[in-house]
Amino acid sequence: MHSGINKELNIRKAESLIDEAAAKGAEVVGLPEMFNFFGPDEDKARMAEPLDGPTISRLKDKAKEHGIYIHGGSILEKIPGSHKVYNTTVFINPRGEIIAVYRKIHLFDISITEDGVEYRESTFVEPGNKLVTVEVEGWTFGFTICYDLRFPELYRKLTLMGAEAIWVPAAFALATGKDHWIALCRARAIENQVYILAPAQIGRSPETGYVNYGRSVIIDPWGIIMSQAVDEEGVIIAEIDKKTIERIRKGLPVLKHRRPDVYG
């Protein structure tokens, strides 16, 4: 998606893309980070919602309409009594019920002067402090958001908690994404032998000048790119298979060969 400051337009676009994915046979549909609002920092607290607010309510309706699971990318979640918000994702079942909530743990506070990228997510976002997995239809999904991708210990811990497919909704900067996005997604898939499911924002925000890299991607546990978006909005789709995980982990049992007695 290329989300902007018009929340209603963003939500309608997300609903249309969910419809398209469901029509193509998707049983689980994921959205990118900040899918319902992408704009200036000073507006973010005002645009935040509780999890029972209108944005998530409309995703619940779509889940029930199509009988699918929906991963809600991320939205800005209100924190009562605080000027800050959470960067939060929800996972919704086909009955329209929230069955998992994850709040972004690692905040994007960086300054890469040679590329002109300077940003402090912590000025308006409170970090989460809980790792989250959920089991559905025989699968265990793990949850991360964007900058979390740079912390391999998080993905290893989720894998040890049983995760077989890990979500990475993102708004990855063009300056870093052009060199790191696919490399990091593949690395997290290969080292943990999990599927990586990574819906991403694309395009320049005229209000902020921030440019998102895009290239939404689905990667298998061997690190093979199964589906990748072109440089525009749209839907990508792939079929994930537990037998693939089992085969790879049996043939190359790196998780069994770990030595926590040596390195913790």
Selecting among 7, 78, 104, 233, the annotated active-site residue is 104
- The one catalytic residue in 146, 164, 185, 233 is 146
Q: Is 89 exposed, middle or buried (0-12, 13-18, 19+ CB in 10 A)?
A: buried
| Cα distance between residue 228 and residue 131, in whole Å | 27
Query: With contact defined as beta carbons under 8 Å apart, do 70 and 59 qualify?
Result: yes
Contact 133, 141 (CB under 8 A): yes
Give the whole-angstrom CA distance, residue 9 versus residue 13.
6
> Does 104 participate in catalysis according to the annotation?
yes
Classified as helix, coil or strand, 20 is: helix
Tokens standing for residue 75: 């939205």
Active-site residue identified among 7, 13, 33, 78 = 33
Helix (H) or strand (E) holding 113: none
Task: Return d(Cα 53, Cα 213) in angstroms, integer.
Answer: 29
Task: Confirm whether 33 is a catalytic residue.
Answer: yes
Q: Which of 65, 62, 95, 59 is nearest to 169 (CA)?
A: 59
185 is an active site residue: no
**Which residue reads 């997300």 in tokens?**
14
- 3-class DSSP state for residue 241? coil
Choose among 188, 185, 140, 148: nearest CA to 164: 140
Cβ proximity of 196 and 218 under 8 Å: yes
Cβ atoms of residues 33 and 60 within 8 Å: no
For the annotated catalytic residues, the residue numbers are: 33, 104, 146
